[in-house]
Structure 1
Amino acid sequence: MMHLSVKSVDAWWAHVQKQKIAEKYNVQISPPEQRPWNMRDFVLIDPSGVLWRISENTD
């Protein structure tokens, strides 16, 4: 698993959607969610099976 901390999850989510990453690379992506541990994130599983958690702190 990889964890990428960013300033704006929504901006990253918009970029991933605009670039059609899921369709181009046949990867699984889940939409942004607020997590109980004070993070908002989305998950992307890349073609090699690595889970990427792209998140921002919300505290």
Structure 2
Amino acid sequence: MLYYALVFLVVALIAGALGFGGIAGASASIAQVLFFIFLIFFVVSLIMNVMRR
């Protein structure tokens, strides 16, 4: 999931540099959502790992 967040971030940066504002904004929003979902899964995974021990 972090991979897809980085892909959308790169797409947003390239689209922003080329002047495609709508595509850049949409890609940046998707990258942000995916990154926060990844962080939530990561924290839950860490908590579950600590509780198992």
Larger radius of gyration: 2
Q: TM-score, normalised by structure 1?
A: 0.30
| Structure with more of its chain in helix, by fraction | 2
| Structure with more of its chain in strand, by fraction | 1
